[in-house]
């Protein structure tokens, strides 16, 4: 129930992107046993703030638009958007997502963001929680190989 209050509050304040970034009161602590660094617990955020809130008007569009905003603002935000996008695809495949996103729309925006922030993505990025991800481009390339093989699309414009 508290996530419902927080999502409505975030919508009113225009802070939906902060939920995805794992900022302050919206942050869900990522699992400590995961061998990588994350800004928040991505799967829990998707369930608690979005998939379990189907009665919130335009929740799907809110998620899509927020992910798109992240693709344009910084290398860190773009990477966060890609992490969410990857989890969303997995949840849709497994039938556990309560709605589907417009994949082609997000693919185009992510590809554009990668072109814009490519050099920064080859270095390191820092999440709001202080954790540093080194060379996130390696992860993006791995994700893209799977997208090519499984879904027949690419987020990399080589």
102's CB contacts (< 8 A; 6+ apart) are: 64
Over residues 65-77, the pLDDT tens digits come to 999 999 999 999 9
41-45, 94-98, 148-152: least confidently modelled range: 41-45
pTM of the model: 0.92
Please report which confidence band the pLDDT of residue 158 belongs to, taking 50, 70 and 90 as the band edges. low
In the predicted model, is pLDDT for residue 35 greater than 70? no
Return the domain boundaries, the chain: 2-151
Angle between helices 103-121 and 59-73 (to 10 degrees): 20
CATH number of the domain located at residue range(s) 2-151 in this protein? 1.25.40
Over residues 131-157, the pLDDT tens digits come to 889 999 999 999 999 999 999 999 997
Q: What is the pLDDT of residue 17?
A: 92
């Amino acid at each position: 129930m508290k996530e419902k209050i927080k999502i409505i509050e975030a919508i009113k304040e225009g802070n939906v992107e902060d939920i995805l970034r794992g900022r302050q009161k919206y942050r869900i602590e990522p699992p400590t046993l995961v061998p990588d660094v994350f800004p928040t617990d991505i799967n829990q955020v998707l369930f608690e703030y979005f998939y379990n809130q189907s009665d919130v008007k335009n929740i799907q569009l809110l998620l899509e638009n927020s992910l798109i905003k992240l693709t344009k603002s910084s290398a860190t935000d773009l990477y966060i958007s890609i992490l969410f996008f990857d989890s969303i695809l997995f949840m849709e495949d497994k039938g556990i997502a309560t709605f589907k996103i417009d994949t082609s729309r997000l693919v185009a925006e992510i590809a554009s963001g990668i072109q814009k922030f490519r050099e920064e993505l080859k270095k390191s990025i820092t999440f709001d929680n202080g954790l540093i991800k080194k060379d996130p481009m390696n992860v993006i390339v791995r994700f893209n190989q799977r997208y090519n093989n499984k879904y027949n699309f690419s987020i990399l414009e080589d």
